């Protein structure tokens, strides 16, 4: 086994291998474990986190396969049921917004479309927006954090002040107000009408991602500040490693744990941000299906048909909760200091 | 200490200048003509040109920015045309200092619009602050002291649920169920504190609660974590060893040290909130800064948007400063450097 200086787990894996050999000799069987094994073991023992993991994966799979489900006719988000909304003001008939064996979460007022199918389709858009925005933050934050922490001096000062500046802006307010000047611009770059969903999705990804990057950058910078003094960096440097190699081949592998934890914590924040924008009437609008867009429509029916607001709102809550629980569990499991 | 504060004040002013400049550039120097955004449907070239002159968009960006800063200290005229002021004074709007701009949509000075919204937002934010600080810290201490028991576990669990509840959801549920359907609380309708403290408190309770729930949840976790950390310090053992009562140990020795980082976080959160408790205001139709900004966004009323962004950043930066200075006062271990 060659020991590459960039592999954080290499030393402990070697120990594990060595211990296994001893065990074969027939003496006391000591099982060595790599950090990754310890993490997995801790995770498996943590029942709440396992449930959260399963739920999160379920939601992601559901969101990823919703176009397929719609094509196969398992869910029909665009099929109207005028016969179910014949009451006064086209309100759905029956309890809880028309919950029935055919329509588990009831139907939409006005059109009678199946709410569960709408929510599943909406989740695809919402999760895509949230995921892309998070990836944007992670990439920008990691690059800026590594450069800032490693370069030090004036570069570090400048980048840190830039992060201070970004954090001084009220991010929710910016997300709302920048639409006035940015969405049209993005639409003209994408050569689409500004009322179409793609420019608005791109806008939300860019702005959510931009205001989220300092969180990642600060964490990465802090880690890099201590990592750059370590021997493996010095070794790589004295072997003549270029900057790009130092940054991405040597330092990056050490950063995945905090990045993973913060990704699972920022993702739910972005999911609720998209939903909140829809709720405020400045996010994606119907007929685009997204959790925000459904909520945007549901607010106007909140008094006559509270279930129509309640179910999508609850979906956002369950989504956010399961990702938060997962992030929390991962943080505990990846923390070498936690004694469990 | 004095020099430290002076130096921080200078950096705050620099920061505010950079923030306002950035905001200005983003909104007024974008490739989209800001004058064309001033009228939605009844836009004719003449109207656009008139508004351009009225709002000063015909001048170069640096001049516009300089005028904006100048307006904070001296009165400004819209349109800024001394000739017109003599020939037709009734068509010129004088915006008194500190002038944040002129909203041609509302035919009002932006300062006035901000002044109308600020008390509402400040009331909600302060109410929420009191609620979340008291409940968050109290429950956090209980969870820390009962570490590992079912009390601790359920408090941590409940706080994670509260933390994950979207605030629009809490707000809407409070409004529809608590206020409208079950009538447990009157439907909130903002009453200024000048018209009586009790009606004021009653009117802001539900909107404040909406905001407070989310923050309270994260403060339970924060307090618990810091409390656990301090309670395992050596000086706590010393305090116990010299025979102090447990309540004294917790209050005088444990809490005192644990509170410092919490005060910091609380100050920053409050500063952020003053920029507009947007969702809470929207749910309860309170006409605060958040509501005003949404209104302005829907009308693309750029001067109002810019002013609210600048005011909100102002509060964030000031909160940063106050917290930094307070930190040194509360925690003697922090050296001013």
| pLDDT at site B59 | 80
Q: What tokens does B259 get?
A: 């509170």
| pLDDT at site A267 | 93
Task: Give contacts of B172 with chain A, Cβ < 8 Å.
Answer: 299, 302, 309, 313
CATH placement of domain A44-79+114-334:
1.10.3720.10
Per-residue pLDDT at A195 exceeds 90 = no
Task: Give contacts of A170 with chain B, Cβ < 8 Å.
Answer: 272, 275-276, 309, 312-313, 316
* Contacts of residue A12, Cβ cutoff 8 Å, sequence gap at least 6: A32, A34, A35
Contact in structure between B269 and B263 (CB atoms under 8 Å): no
Per-residue pLDDT at A101 exceeds 50 = yes
Q: Delineate the domains of chain B, giving CATH numbers in brackets.
A: 2-107 (no CATH), 112-336 (1.10.3720.10)
The domains of chain A are located at 1-32, 44-79+114-334
Confidence bin at A307 (pLDDT 50/70/90): confident
Question: Between residues A308 and A338, which one has the greater pLDDT?
Answer: A308
| pLDDT at site B275 | 66
Q: What tokens does B82 get?
A: 């001394």
* Contacts of residue B269, Cβ cutoff 8 Å, sequence gap at least 6: B129, B215
Confidence bin at A158 (pLDDT 50/70/90): very high
Task: Give residue-wise pLDDT tens across range B215-246.
Answer: 888 899 889 988 888 888 888 888 889 988 88
Task: Give residue-wise pLDDT tens across range A38-97.
Answer: 788 888 888 888 999 999 999 999 999 888 888 887 777 777 777 766 766 667 777 677
Q: How far apart (Å, rounded) are the C-alpha atoms in residues A129 and A63?
A: 12
Task: Give residue-wise pLDDT tens across range B75-121.
Answer: 877 777 777 777 777 777 777 778 888 887 787 888 989 999 899 99
In this prediction, residues A106-122 reach a mean pLDDT of 82
| pLDDT at site A138 | 95
Confidence bin at A209 (pLDDT 50/70/90): very high
Per-residue pLDDT at A133 exceeds 90 = yes
| pLDDT at site A88 | 64
User: Best interface-test mutation with B: which of A48, A49, A167, A181 has the largest number of B CBs within 10 A?
Assistant: A181
Q: How far apart (Å, rounded) are the C-alpha atoms in residues B156 and B137?
A: 13
| pLDDT at site A90 | 67
Task: Give residue-wise pLDDT tens across range B150-194.
Answer: 998 899 888 888 888 888 888 888 888 888 878 888 888 888 888
Residue A84 C-alpha, separation from nearest chain B C-alpha, in angstroms? 24
In this prediction, residues A203-220 reach a mean pLDDT of 92
| pLDDT at site A29 | 63
| pLDDT at site A298 | 85
Per-residue pLDDT at A1 exceeds 50 = no
Phi/psi of residue B76, each to 5°?
A: -125, 150
Mean pLDDT of chain A, nearest integer: 81
Q: How far apart (Å, rounded) are the C-alpha atoms in residues B113 and B304?
A: 8
Per-residue pLDDT at A26 exceeds 70 = no
Contact in structure between B62 and B56 (CB atoms under 8 Å): no
Q: How far apart (Å, rounded) are the C-alpha atoms in residues B190 and B119?
A: 10
User: Best interface-test mutation with A: which of B30, B163, B164, B294 has the largest number of A CBs within 10 A?
Assistant: B164
| pLDDT at site A7 | 41
| Radius of gyration of the CA atoms of chain B, in A | 25
Cβ–Cβ gap B180/A309 under 8 Å: no
Q: At what angle do helices B302-330 and A179-190 cross, to 10 degrees?
A: 120
Contacts 24+ apart (CB under 8 A), A58-65: A59/A123, A59/A127, A59/A319, A59/A322, A60/A127, A62/A120, A62/A123, A63/A120, A63/A123, A63/A124, A63/A126, A63/A127, A63/A128, A64/A124
Task: Give residue-wise pLDDT tens across range B311-323.
Answer: 999 998 988 888 8
Of A245-249, B29-33, B241-245, the range with the lowest mean pLDDT is B29-33
In this prediction, residues B55-63 reach a mean pLDDT of 81
- Please state, in angstroms and as integers, the Cα–Cα distance from residue A287 to each residue in A118, A122, A280, B261, B329, following that order: 10, 10, 16, 46, 55
Cβ–Cβ gap A170/B163 under 8 Å: no
* Contacts of residue A271, Cβ cutoff 8 Å, sequence gap at least 6: A126, A127, A130, A291, A316, A319, A320, A323
- Please state, in angstroms and as integers, the Cα–Cα distance from residue A97 to each residue in A20, A87, A300, A309, following that order: 61, 11, 14, 10
Among A181, A306, A310, whose Cβ lies nearest the Cβ of B32? A181
- Which 8-state DSSP code applies to residue B187? P
Cβ–Cβ gap B37/A180 under 8 Å: yes
Q: How far apart (Å, rounded) are the C-alpha atoms in residues A32 and B2?
A: 58
Per-residue pLDDT at A258 exceeds 80 = yes
In this prediction, residues B256-276 reach a mean pLDDT of 81
In this prediction, residues A154-174 reach a mean pLDDT of 89
Confidence bin at B276 (pLDDT 50/70/90): low
Per-residue pLDDT at A25 exceeds 60 = no
Q: How far apart (Å, rounded) are the C-alpha atoms in residues A113 and A300?
A: 17
Alpha-carbon dihedral sign for residues A298, A299, A301, A304: positive
Tally Cβ neighbours within 10 Å of residue A76.
Answer: 14
Confidence bin at A9 (pLDDT 50/70/90): very low
In this prediction, residues A101-115 reach a mean pLDDT of 77
């Amino acid at each position: 086994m060659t020991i590459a200086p960039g592999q954080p787990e290499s030393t402990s894996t070697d120990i594990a291998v060595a211990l296994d050999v001893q065990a074969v000799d027939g003496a006391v069987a000591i099982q060595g474990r790599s950090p990754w094994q310890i993490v997995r073991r801790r995770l498996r023992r943590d029942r709440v986190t396992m449930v959260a993991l399963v739920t999160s994966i379920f939601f992601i799979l559901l969101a990823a396969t919703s176009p397929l489900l719609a094509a196969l006719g398992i869910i029909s988000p665009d099929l109207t049921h005028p016969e179910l909304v014949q009451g006064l003001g086209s309100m759905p008939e029956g309890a809880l917004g028309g919950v029935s064996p055919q329509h588990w979460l009831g139907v939409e007022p006005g059109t009678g479309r199946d709410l569960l199918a709408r929510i599943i389709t909406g989740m695809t858009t919402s999760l895509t927006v949230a995921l892309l925005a998070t990836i944007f933050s992670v990439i920008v934050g990691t690059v800026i954090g590594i450069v800032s922490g490693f370069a030090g001096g004036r570069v570090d000062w400048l980048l840190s002040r830039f992060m201070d500046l970004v954090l001084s802006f009220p991010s929710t307010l910016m997300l709302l107000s920048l639409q006035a000047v940015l969405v049209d611009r993005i639409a003209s770059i994408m050569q689409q009408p500004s009322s179409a969903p793609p420019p608005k999705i791109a806008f939300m990804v860019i702005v959510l991602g931009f205001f989220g990057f300092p969180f990642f950058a600060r964490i990465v910078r802090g880690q890099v500040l201590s990592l750059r003094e370590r021997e493996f960096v010095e070794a790589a440097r004295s072997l003549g490693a270029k900057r790009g190699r130092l940054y991405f081949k040597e330092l990056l592998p050490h950063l995945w744990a905090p990045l993973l934890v913060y990704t699972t914590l920022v993702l739910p924040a972005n999911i609720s941000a998209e939903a909140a924008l829809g709720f405020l009437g400045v996010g994606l609008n119907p007929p685009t299906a997204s959790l925000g867009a459904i909520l945007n429509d549901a607010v106007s029916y909140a008094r006559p048909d509270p279930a129509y607001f309640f179910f999508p709102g609850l979906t956002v809550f369950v989504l956010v909760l399961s990702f938060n629980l997962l992030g929390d569990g991962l943080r505990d499991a990846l923390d070498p200091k936690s004694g469990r | 200490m004095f020099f430290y504060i002076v130096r921080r004040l200078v950096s705050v002013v620099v920061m505010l200048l950079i923030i306002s400049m950035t905001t200005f550039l983003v909104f007024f120097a974008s490739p989209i003509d800001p004058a064309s955004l001033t009228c939605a449907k009844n836009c004719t070239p003449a109207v656009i040109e008139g508004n351009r002159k009225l709002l000063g968009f015909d001048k170069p960006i640096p001049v516009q920015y300089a005028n904006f800063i100048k307006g904070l200290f001296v009165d400004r005229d819209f349109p800024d045309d001394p000739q017109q002021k003599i020939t037709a004074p009734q068509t010129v709007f004088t915006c008194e200092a500190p002038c944040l701009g002129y909203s041609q949509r509302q035919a009002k000075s932006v300062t006035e619009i901000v002044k109308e919204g600020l008390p509402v937002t400040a009331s909600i934010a302060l109410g929420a602050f009191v609620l979340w600080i008291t409940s968050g810290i109290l429950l956090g201490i209980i969870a820390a002291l009962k570490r590992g028991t079912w009390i601790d576990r359920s408090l941590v669990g409940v706080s994670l649920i509260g933390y994950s509840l979207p605030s629009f959801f809490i707000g809407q549920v409070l409004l529809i169920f608590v206020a409208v359907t079950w009538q447990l609380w009157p439907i909130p309708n903002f009453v200024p504190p000048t018209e009586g403290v009790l009606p004021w408190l009653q009117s802001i309770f539900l909107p404040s609660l909406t905001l407070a729930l989310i923050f309270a949840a994260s403060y339970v976790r924060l307090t618990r974590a810091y409390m656990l950390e301090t309670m395992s310090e050596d000086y706590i053992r010393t305090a116990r060893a010299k025979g102090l009562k447990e309540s004294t140990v917790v209050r005088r020795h444990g809490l005192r040290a644990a509170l410092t980082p919490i005060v910091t976080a609380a100050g920053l959160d409050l500063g952020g909130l003053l920029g507009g408790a947007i969702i809470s205001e929207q749910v309860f139709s309170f006409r605060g800064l958040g509501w005003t900004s949404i209104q302005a966004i829907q009308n693309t009323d750029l001067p109002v948007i810019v002013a609210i962004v600048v005011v909100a950043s102002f509060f964030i930066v000031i909160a940063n400063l106050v917290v930094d200075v307070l930190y040194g006062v509360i925690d003697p271990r922090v050296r001013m450097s």
